[in-house]
């Protein structure tokens, strides 16, 4: 029996559940892309699957809308794959285990993929229906949005005729997104030399953090596990002699790391002292983050790791980098009250045999400030013998003073809800910016139902909000005659 069978709208939740049954993490989108292609072919709809596995599906306008301006419905097919400790899901092969409690949809022990499976479900439900009035549609479902909007960047938009774009990748019902930051993924690397060292093996762990989206929730003051671990490693190094074996933390560059760990080698006689320092820093962190990360925990335990530790110079360079990397909010906007203008997030840290790699998501609505942050990271790396590379750069989506589409969406909202929606800008990347760069004159609005805790295992989707947002979408399409 379907877990979501009793929820409305039936068609939307039917397709959402089908999507949840197909592995579709970023970088693993071939199966879901093929599913979308079959969906179109089975219904006789014109479709295209490009080399990146992006999918475009066309549908003619319904009666009375044949000559209306075409409209793009857009979302992404990939999801962030995060899981709770102890959850044994294999994201490459396993389905999600959906749950419904009091009208809230979630996945057992994992992210839900509501970001952005709900957009795909909305689009498929419109395409599948025969009784929904709408203009000609171009449904564009991209891959790898969560790892730098790579699908949108690779997409050849020359086949698209629409200049009205409904992006369904927002998480707050009642809000219309009309502008967003640009960004880039930055990778910094430090070469490592290793040298044998005797001593007691131990593991320093920091966990229990809330994490979250590195754009939407960068202003929540939450701890970054890896950066705080670097702080702890420096405090240890001030008071004692130890060897550093490895540092690892975070899974996605656009998710604030919830946990991080370092393997170290201690002198036997300094083990007790190390524990005292860890206990003291645990209290410091719990006090500093008592409101934003109340469950933060720092611990020291025995380790069975047998890797050769770094030499003194390599360890010093790694700790210097972790302590001095910029992080979090760098500047607030003076144009839009409350909007983060520029930020960065150290999302992934992983240690190999001969190098350690750090991956950042850098965001700004001001291109020069974005580039200055990249320069700061590069300057630090040059000083300590590291290197920097960038990928997935995407432009900001600038606010349009004159937007007929925004007027339609505001009018449809007032008609359904009886009040005006919030019209806002966001400090996070959405694909509208890339499409606007490829399609001159594009008029875009982003919206969606209520979701909470995206990019974390607590991610949830409000079923009633899904239903109201569905009705809103249909109302808006009906007005585009």
Q: For residue range 261-275, what is the model confidence (pLDDT) as tens digits?
A: 999 999 999 999 999
- Of 394, 410, 445, the residue at which a domain comes to its end is 394
Residues 224 and 290 in one domain: yes
Contact at 8 Å (CB) between 323 and 224?
no
Contact at 8 Å (CB) between 121 and 16?
yes
4 in a domain, yes or no? no
1 in a domain, yes or no? no
pLDDT tier at 392, thresholds 50, 70, 90: confident
At residue 262, what are phi and psi to the nearest 5 degrees? -130, 135
Residues 72 and 123 in one domain: yes
Is residue 249 over pLDDT 90? yes
Nearest to 119 by CA among 457, 479, 446: 446
At residue 167, what are phi and psi to the nearest 5 degrees? -85, 130
Residues 349 and 473 in one domain: no
Q: Counting beta carbons within 10 angstroms of the beta carbon of residue 36, is it exposed (0 to 12), middle (13 to 18) or buried (19 or more)?
A: buried
Is residue 77 over pLDDT 80? yes
3 in a domain, yes or no? no
CATH number at residue 215: 3.30.70.360
For 290-307, what is the mean pLDDT?
97
Residues 418 and 321 in one domain: no
Could you give the residue ranges of the DSSP H alpha helices within 129-254? 150-154, 225-239
Q: What is the reported pLDDT for 96? A: 98
Residues 149 and 272 in one domain: no
Does the predicted model carry a pTM greater than 0.95? Answer: no
280 in a domain, yes or no? yes
**Roughly what angle, to the nearest 10 degrees, separates helices 404-417 and 463-479?**
130
Residues 410 and 306 in one domain: no
DSSP string across 102-133: TTEEEETTB---HHHHHHHHHHHHHHH-SS--
Q: What is the reported pLDDT for 479? A: 97
The CA distance from 210 to 384, in Å, is 32
**Spatial CB neighbours of 286, under 8 Å, sequence gap ≥ 6:** 294, 296, 297
Residues 348 and 430 in one domain: no
CATH number at residue 122: 3.40.630.10
Residues 113 and 253 in one domain: no
Q: For residue range 181-234, what is the model confidence (pLDDT) as tens digits?
A: 888 999 999 999 999 999 999 999 999 999 998 988 999 999 999 999 999 999
- Of 362, 394, 426, the residue at which a domain comes to its end is 394
Residues 172 and 236 in one domain: no
Q: For residue range 27-49, what is the model confidence (pLDDT) as tens digits?
A: 999 999 999 999 999 999 999 99
The CA distance from 252 to 254, in Å, is 5
For 342-346, what is the mean pLDDT?
97
Residues 208 and 71 in one domain: no
Residues 206 and 129 in one domain: no
Q: Which domain, by its residues, includes 387?
A: 184-394
Is residue 139 over pLDDT 80? yes
pLDDT tier at 400, thresholds 50, 70, 90: confident
For 295-323, what is the mean pLDDT?
98
For 93-102, what is the mean pLDDT?
97
Q: What is the reported pLDDT for 180? A: 87
DSSP string across 132-157: -----EEEEEES-GGGTSHHHHH--G
Residues 407 and 390 in one domain: no
């Amino acid at each position: 029996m379907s877990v979501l069978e009793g929820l409305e709208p039936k068609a939307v939740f039917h397709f959402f559940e089908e999507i949840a049954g197909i592995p579709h993490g970023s970088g693993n989108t071939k199966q879901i892309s093929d599913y979308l292609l079959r969906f179109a072919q089975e219904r006789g709809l014109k479709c295209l699957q490009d080399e990146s596995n992006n999918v475009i599906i066309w549908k003619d306008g319904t009666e009375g809308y044949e000559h209306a301006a075409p409209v793009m419905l857009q979302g992404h097919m990939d999801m962030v794959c995060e899981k709770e400790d102890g959850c044994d899901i294999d994201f490459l092969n396993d389905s999600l285990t959906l749950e419904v409690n009091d009208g809230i949809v979630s996945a057992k022990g994992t992210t839900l993929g509501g970001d952005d499976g709900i957009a795909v479900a909305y689009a498929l439900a419109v395409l599948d229906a025969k009784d929904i009035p709408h203009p000609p549609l171009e449904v564009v479902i991209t891959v790898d949005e969560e790892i730098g909007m790579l699908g949108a960047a690779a997409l050849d938009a020359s086949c698209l005729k629409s200049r009205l774009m409904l992006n369904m990748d927002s998480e707050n019902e009642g809000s219309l997104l009309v502008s967003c930051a640009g960004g880039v993924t930055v990778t910094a690397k430090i070469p490592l030399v290793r040298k044998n060292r005797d001593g007691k093996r131990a593991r320093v762990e920091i966990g229990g953090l809330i994490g979250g989206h590195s754009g939407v929730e960068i202003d929540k003051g939450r701890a970054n596990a890896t950066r705080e671990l670097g702080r702890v490693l420096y405090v240890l190094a001030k008071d004692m002699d130890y060897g550093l074996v490895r540092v690892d933390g975070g899974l996605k560059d656009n998710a604030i790391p919830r946990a991080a760990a370092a393997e170290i080698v201690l002198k036997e006689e300094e083990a007790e002292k190390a524990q005292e320092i860890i206990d003291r820093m645990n209290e410091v962190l719990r006090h500093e983050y008592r409101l934003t990360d109340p469950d933060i925990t720092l611990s020291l335990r025995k380790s069975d790791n047998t890797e050769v530790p770094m030499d003194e110079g390599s360890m010093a360079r790694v700790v210097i980098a972790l302590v001095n990397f910029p992080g979090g909010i760098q500047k607030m906007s003076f144009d839009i009250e409350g909007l983060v203008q520029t930020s960065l997030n150290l999302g992934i840290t992983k240690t190999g045999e001969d190098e350690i790699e750090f991956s950042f998501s850098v965001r700004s609505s001001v291109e020069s400030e974005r580039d200055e942050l990249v320069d700061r990271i590069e300057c630090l790396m040059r000083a300590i013998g590291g290197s920097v590379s960038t990928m997935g750069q995407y432009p900001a989506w600038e606010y349009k003073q004159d937007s007929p589409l925004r007027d339609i969406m505001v009018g449809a909202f007032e008609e359904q809800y009886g009040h005006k929606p919030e019209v806002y800008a966001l400090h996070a990347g959405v694909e509208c910016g890339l499409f606007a760069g490829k399609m001159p004159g594009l008029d875009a609005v982003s919206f969606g139902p209520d979701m909470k805790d995206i990019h974390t295992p607590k991610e949830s989707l409000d079923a009633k909000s899904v239903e109201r947002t569905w009705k809103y979408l249909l109302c808006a399409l009906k007005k585009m005659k």
